[in-house]
Chains A and B, each alone.
Chain A
Amino acid sequence: MNYPIWDVSFGAGLLIALVAGLHVFVSHFAVGGGLFLVLTERKAIKTNDHALLNWLKSHTKFFVLLTVVYGAVSGVGIWFTIGLISPTATSNLIHIFVWGWAIEWVFFFLEITAALLYLSGWDKLSPKRHQWYGWIYFWAAFASLVVINGIITFMLTPGSWIDVHKFWIGFFNPTYFPSLFFRTAICIALAGIYALITASVQKDKDLKARIVRWGALWTIPSLLALIPFGYWYIREVPAALFLSARGPMPTATHYAFLAWSLLAVTFLLMLLALFTPRRMHLVFALVIGLIALGAMDSFEFVREDVRKPFVIENYLYDNSLYAAAMPGDGGFTVDNLNTVGVLHSAAWIDQRTITPDNQIAVGHEIFRVECQACHTANSYRGIHQLLEQRQWDAPTTRAMLSSLALMHNGVMPPFAGTDPERDALAAYLNTLQTTTPTATIDGKLLYQNNCSMCHQDHPNAQFFSGIVTDPAAAADSLKDLTSIFPLMPDLKLNSAQRTALVQYLNTQRPPLQHAQLSPAVEGGK
């Protein structure tokens, strides 16, 4: 709200995912592929393999055209896109790490120059001199990974930077090294995978087999190395962060499963390629590439998802509010907005007061500044779809907005603003619902629509410790949820609904607890 919000109708997050998802697949190849070029050149010269050397020349052209053009432009593209969608985060990252970015630029400049000279030097330079350019290329490219890795990992695990605000503390943060090793293994694995693509169109089957075997030698051990590096990486991420990845909106869990599965498929296909190297077909090579792309992007999604609700962990929320007040925050903190209100804090809104006439328009503006960093009205992470699925009526939506921070294990920032502002937001959100919600008396459905966001699909034992066993008393206690736990939404279910919900809950109660618990255990969460 310090900056205007770009209204991307189909979803700002989707746009970042698209740009970044394709860039990382090329940029990691740009690192590993550089090492592949020099080592393959050495191997071809050592074994006097002219055919391999000739292929490598064409592979170099493919490599340069992909990494120097698309890789470089799409890298700037990520920067452009995050500046448009998360200007506050970008501004923070620039000011914290400007010398890091500047150092990366030096390496990038060397990298591009070396790549162009390596490509054009194939028939002009002695092999030794030519490889010298190849090595400079590789080390410069790797150095740019070494730098950028510090900034990417900082966003997930800033560690003690939050307290001391020192460059190197933020840079060499807890996940710096596992991530560096993990990404380096990806780089090397991709070098082998990309080699299959240009190898597959070779007519000389012996040559093709030699390249495929050589490529598999790069990819297969690297894929195996991802397992310990991945384990190390996960261990360095604070357990509390992973908590947000589980539960009824287990996006990160799904992506983690997808990442490991696709990795396993890549591994198996590479083994298949290794055993039938003469038959490598372009389509097969592209399928391996696409599956590897899926695996890699799933990993990046996990990283992004466990970071939620923050864009910089414990420092800046996804919607550009600071987690804690500090000098220079401009008043853009949850606490301040709760006191002063959105309408008196946000710069880029048109309405400054709420009247019955403009309530929905105000709500729309609040939605834009607080929610649209992740949600859309009715497409990607659309509120329309969510409301239809949950069948929330207006009072329910309003009540639920008080408990956003508890939902889905805390992947959302809390609603920030005054009560009338929350009412305005709820009023707007309900205009997104095109059908009238039905008041169900199905206990299971009631639980799923109203409780599961915070209490998981299957409530745990602790949940039941807060609910008395006597059905009538339990139903009665659901009249006022905030008296059970002050942060619960003030949800109003009718008598039939409460009874149905308790009936359903009692079927879910763990048997042991069922026997042990007495009606005396009441209260608490």
Chain B
Amino acid sequence: MIDPSMIPTVDPNPLPAPYWLFKLLLIVTFFLHILAMNFMLGGAFLAVAARFSSKGKEYRNRIFLDLAKKIPVFLAATITIGIAPLLFVQAIYGQYFYTSTILIAWPWFLLLVLLCIAYYGFYYVAYNGQRRPGPAGIVLFVSLVLVLIVGFIQSTNVTLMQTPTHWAAKYFASPTGWSNNLSDPTLIPRYLHFVTSAIAVGGILLVLLALVRWKSDRAYANYLFQYGGKAFMYATMAQFVIGSWFLISIPRNLRMIFMGDSPIATVLFLAGILGTVASIFLMSDALRKQNIRTAAYGVSGLLAAVILTMILMRDILRDAYLEPYFHPHQFAVKTQWAVLPVFLVLFLGGVGLWLLMLQRYGLFSSTNPTPSELTPTPDAPAEPEAELVH
């Protein structure tokens, strides 16, 4: 148990809106951020896999090129959406967040340097993948490694911010910001759980690309479908091993909230597992019957729902970790009524203008096979942007 006085006090300014509103915005925007991240990271992973197994396989090279063009846009979406949860997490968990980032200050700072290099790398590949496949493959691989490191730093911070008991020993051993959290048994499985989920979503990305080409280029689309569908299935099956590892690495008293101690957490946990199993069977069935619509709409919808349960469980787990110290009712709240409506109006207006921009660009019409593509599944906003880099 940490000396409670080590946990920084919140600053004197009251929370400028009710706690639940920040929590809601945090969860919603983090969910969207993770979706974009999954497309980016999974797409990059499968692009590398396709590129380095493309010898004599023309379609693999096409997959590499198709994905390479989309990765910068997904990275732009990941970063741009990611700013919102970064803001809201600081609004309600600032004391924990700042402290843990200071302990790993150098990796946390370098995260952005690595991200910037990877970003330029992805753009290089998008522009040069066709003309210089050799160097582009290497640059893509290096950029993938860099974003994987970025993810690992994020996981390190998240595990560290929710375990204040680990702070003091790390800081007093060295205040230079080079601490790590490798001694936390949940770090590695948690990180692998996220990365593997990204690979599964990368598979779904290929299925969605197959859907777009289903009528115009059936042979390639079918290849994309098989390649993506299998990637999805293998990655998701691996989650049963990694997920179990993650689960048993969590301290018993916290693990039990998903196994009966908390009804909500338990329901979410069961729903997540059932959804995952169902998505594997659904994909397997779709692949066998070559039913692209089931895979593109059914599985991706199901997967989005599963990811949402995971995000909610993640949040419940964090609050369980912080339960000895963190109590939302301790916040003084003074809602800024003079500015909150301004944000809400601008936010809704912004979403409207954003959709209008995409619609006027023709992203909702020509390239897609059916109008039903407009169905606002969580995948939809990301998919239309896919063709942006040329």
**Interface of A with B (CB < 8 Å)?**
2-9, 15, 65, 68-70, 72-74, 76-77, 79-81, 83-84, 87-88, 90-92, 94-96, 98-103, 105-110, 112-114, 116-117, 120-121, 124-125, 129, 132-133, 136, 165-168, 322, 326-330, 347-348, 350, 368
Q: Is B112 an interface residue (CB 8 A)?
A: yes
Cβ-defined contact, B8 with A3, below 8 A: yes
Cβ-defined contact, B116 with A84, below 8 A: no
Known contacts A76-B112, A91-B94, A168-B339; A120/B102 CB under 8 A: no
Give me 19 A-to-B residue pairs in the complex whose CB atoms sit less than 8 angstroms apart, sorted by A's number.
A4-B175, A6-B176, A69-B123, A74-B112, A80-B101, A81-B109, A84-B109, A87-B98, A92-B11, A95-B11, A99-B343, A102-B84, A102-B87, A102-B347, A103-B346, A105-B83, A328-B9, A329-B12, A368-B175
Interface size on B, residues (CB 8 A): 71
Q: How far is the CA of A3 from the CA of B164 in the complex (A)?
A: 13
**Min CB distance, B152 to chain A, in Å?**
16
Cβ-defined contact, B336 with A3, below 8 A: no
Cβ-defined contact, A77 with B9, below 8 A: no
Cβ-defined contact, A4 with B388, below 8 A: no
**Min CB distance, A482 to chain B, in Å?**
35
Cβ-defined contact, B5 with A94, below 8 A: no
Q: How far is the CA of A136 from the CA of B357 in the complex (A)?
A: 9
Interface 9-mer from B13-21, B58-66, B183-191, B252-260: B13-21
* A residues less than 8 Å from B109 (CB atoms): 15, 77, 80-81, 84
Q: Is B248 an interface residue (CB 8 A)?
A: no
Q: Is B389 an interface residue (CB 8 A)?
A: yes
Interface 9-mer from B72-80, B132-140, B264-272: B72-80
Q: How far is the CA of A390 from the CA of B102 in the complex (A)?
A: 34
Q: Is B374 an interface residue (CB 8 A)?
A: no
* A residues less than 8 Å from B281 (CB atoms): none
A/B pair count, beta carbons within 8 Å: 198
* A residues less than 8 Å from B81 (CB atoms): 109
**Min CB distance, A337 to chain B, in Å?**
15
Looking at the complex, which one of B16, B99, B123 makes contact with A65 (CB distance below 8 Å)? B123
Cβ-defined contact, B105 with A84, below 8 A: yes
Cβ-defined contact, B103 with A4, below 8 A: yes
**A-facing residues in B157-196 (Cβ within 8 Å):** 167, 171-172, 175-177
CB-CB nearest in chain A for B76: A112
Known contacts A3-B99, A6-B177, A116-B76; A74/B116 CB under 8 A: yes
Most buried by A among B14, B25, B80, B171: B80
Cβ-defined contact, A83 with B16, below 8 A: no
Cβ-defined contact, B101 with A83, below 8 A: yes
Looking at the complex, which one of A72, A99, A125, A166 makes contact with B361 (CB distance below 8 Å)? A125
**Min CB distance, B16 to chain A, in Å?**
6
Q: How far is the CA of A322 from the CA of B11 in the complex (A)?
A: 10
Cβ-defined contact, A167 with B10, below 8 A: no
CB-CB nearest in chain A for B360: A129
Looking at the complex, which one of A69, A99, A105 makes contact with B16 (CB distance below 8 Å)? A99
**A-facing residues in B326-358 (Cβ within 8 Å):** 332, 336, 338-340, 342-343, 346-347, 350, 353-354, 357-358
Looking at the complex, which one of A3, A116, A129, A165 makes contact with B13 (CB distance below 8 Å)? A165
Looking at the complex, which one of B12, B83, B88, B123 makes contact with A76 (CB distance below 8 Å)? B83
* B residues less than 8 Å from A326 (CB atoms): 12
Looking at the complex, which one of A2, A94, A113, A129 makes contact with B91 (CB distance below 8 Å)? A94
CB-CB nearest in chain A for B15: A95
* A residues less than 8 Å from B5 (CB atoms): 347
Cβ-defined contact, A120 with B9, below 8 A: no
* A residues less than 8 Å from B340 (CB atoms): 99
Looking at the complex, which one of A94, A110, A165 makes contact with B90 (CB distance below 8 Å)? A94
Most buried by A among B105, B172, B336, B387: B105
Cβ-defined contact, A98 with B87, below 8 A: yes
**Min CB distance, B328 to chain A, in Å?**
15
Q: How far is the CA of A219 from the CA of B98 in the complex (A)?
A: 41
* A residues less than 8 Å from B9 (CB atoms): 2, 328, 330
